Chain A
Amino acid sequence: MKRIQTIATRNLKQSAQTGGCGECQTSCQSACKTSCGVANQQCEKYIGQNK
């Protein structure tokens, strides 16, 4: 695809099969405490898991 570059990302649909362990950091325990989102949390079990 010469006009489209697809950036490597985690496949969210596939993560429905392997995710949900809940071990990742709670959003508000990090830096913000007032305006958090979830996108900047890392997956605790990422290694060895399907993207």
Chain B
Amino acid sequence: MIHQYQLNGYNIVLDVNSGSVHCVDDLAYDIIALYQTTEKQQIINKMLVKYAAVPEINKAEIIEVLDDLAGLKKTEKLFTPDIYQSKAFDFKNRSTMIKALCLHVAHTCNLNCQYCFASQGKYHGERACMSFEVGKQALDFLVANSGEMTNLEVDFFGGEPLMNWNVVKQIVGYGRKIQKEHQKNFRFTLTTNGMLIDDEVIEFANNEMHNVVLSLDGRKKVHDHFRKTFDGSGSYDLVVPKFQKFVKMRGDKNYYVRGTFTHNNTDFTNDILHMADLGFNELSMEPVVCAPDDPYALQEEDLPQLYGQYELLAQEMIKRNKSGKGFTFYHYMIDLEAGPCIYKRISGCGSGTEYLAVTPWGELYPCHQFVGDPKYSMGDVWQGVTNTELQTQFKLCNAYARADCQGCWARLYCSGGCAANAFHATGSIKGTYEYGCKLFLKRIECAIMVKVAEATLDSTATE
């Protein structure tokens, strides 16, 4: 399977099953579109007609392109067959290791954001904070179930994890204590709204956290519309200076400034550029997750503008990168040479299998987006995964498990997408969240275009 598209002046051809990316001229682009379905002589005739006004395109030129394509096909860089389907089910079904936990250390929050999928941090339940004993047991559970895996990931999530900061520090301390004896390497991450950031938090996090995710929606008006304190005032002025200090002190360690866009700011590129102008250069902006009838839910009619925004963002990033003021956007961070292997690409996101969420009470869920739904309770950190039937369902949820993905060129980029989004949109973890797919396809096209632009060093395409 191939996917070919034109964007920002580039003709791009993706060979889905080999992962190859080709940048071609108009003649090659047209021939590739016909190559698998049309006889060679017919292709030649069609091209001679189409390019009759272009003197340098003659029969010999067309044959040369056809020969090049035959060579690419022979070396499995074009029209490569799919040989991975059986591996998708075998690989994931064999895996029983757990390597990542999302620790819900605080089911409470000091902001009252209307769009919060976690219902202001409570996940539709009671307010609660995780005790150190539960966190300690969660790390023990992780180590005991991680097999030979070395790198273990623990995200401090909420609600707002800084509302239970002392326990976070205790859990980190415990992790550092046990990691040597078990030959593990804990990678801790922290997702925070910033309200409680102070010098002590900055110092500890910059020493111990592999990554920090800082929530900011962009422009002050946009951010303050949803991200309000309980007295109704916006939080932008409170958190931005803290984030700037945090990032400045962080040096070269990883962070993301992460926002959410909604129907209210379908011009979200302006919010990303605002973040960049504030001095942040590792950025992420996510489409809101909410019920379709929420007033701020993204609508079908928003799609053309959203597509345009993703294209505009890609073009702006190329420009800024050239001028030395570049920034990264999470969804455009594709490393074509050092990206994931085929097993990662076919085995799905890992929810319910290698990745679990832990509630303040120690209950296990497939991921943070299932927390609070009793049907998806999987066990607890003391007894481990007891709902093995549910675990099996998630094990068999991969890029090949969804009927809608069979003909999709992007399945090895998304691996079937988010199980929680699929469940919320269709009632099944093997469904597909079509709206999310549409945005994902556009993001991947843009991400690869940025890489092609970098690789070809074409200075004219974005002018």
Residues of A that sit less than 8 Å from B by CB: 1-13, 15-16, 18-20, 22-44, 46, 51
Contact = CB atoms under 8 A, between A and B. Distances in A.
Given A2-B64, A7-B456, A13-B80, 5 more contacts: A12-B19, A32-B330, A37-B331, A39-B412, A39-B447
Contacts of B155: 29
B350 A40 contact: no
A5 B17 contact: no
A34 B76 contact: no
A50 to B, nearest CB: 10
A1 B73 CA distance: 14
Contact of B413 (A20, A23, A39, A43): A39
A41 B339 contact: yes
Given A6-B21, A22-B95, A42-B338, A27 B369 contact: no
Given A29-B189, A34-B369, A3 B338 contact: no
Nearest to A27: B349
23 contacts: A3-B24, A3-B25, A3-B68, A4-B23, A4-B24, A7-B22, A7-B455, A10-B338, A10-B341, A15-B342, A16-B342, A28-B349, A28-B351, A29-B155, A30-B256, A33-B286, A34-B369, A38-B348, A39-B340, A40-B332, A40-B335, A40-B339, A41-B340
A31 to B, nearest CB: 4
B209 to A, nearest CB: 12
B455 A16 contact: no
What are the 8 tightest A-B residue pairs by CB atom distance, in nearest-first order? A19-B341, A15-B341, A31-B256, A20-B343, A39-B413, A26-B100, A31-B284, A37-B414
B336 A10 contact: yes
Contacts of A23: 149-151
Contacts, number: 209
A26 B353 CA distance: 11
Given A4-B65, A37-B414, A25 B213 contact: no
A7 B287 contact: no
A26 to B, nearest CB: 4
B153 to A, nearest CB: 5
Contacts of B330: 30-32, 40
A7 B451 contact: yes
A30 B345 CA distance: 16
B336 A9 contact: yes
B284 A12 contact: no
Interface of B: 17-25, 27-28, 64-65, 68-69, 72, 76-77, 80, 83-84, 87, 91, 95, 97, 99-100, 102, 117, 149-151, 153, 155, 157, 187, 189, 191, 211, 213, 256, 258, 260, 284, 286-287, 289, 330-345, 348-351, 354-355, 367-369, 412-415, 417-418, 421, 436, 439-440, 444, 447, 451-452, 455-456
Contacts of B258: 31-32
Contacts of A40: 330-335, 339, 447
A22 B96 CA distance: 11
Given A1-B68, A4-B22, A4-B72, A12 B342 contact: yes
Given A23-B150, A34-B117, A13 B17 contact: yes
Nearest to B155: A29
A13 B336 contact: no
B80 A18 contact: no
A22 B345 contact: no
A38 B80 contact: no
Nearest to A44: B151
Contacts of A30: 211, 256, 330
B439 A35 contact: yes
Contact of A37 (B83, B260, B337, B415): B415
Nearest to A41: B340
Given A16-B87, A22-B149, A39 B334 contact: yes
Contacts of B348: 38
B91 to A, nearest CB: 7
Contacts of B339: 10, 39-43
B48 to A, nearest CB: 16
B270 to A, nearest CB: 20
A8 B344 contact: no
Contacts of B84: 16
Given A5-B456, A30-B330, A37-B413, A10 B19 contact: yes
A19 B225 CA distance: 45
Nearest to B289: A34
B83 A38 contact: no
A13 to B, nearest CB: 6
A12 B341 contact: yes
A7 B97 CA distance: 35
B433 to A, nearest CB: 9
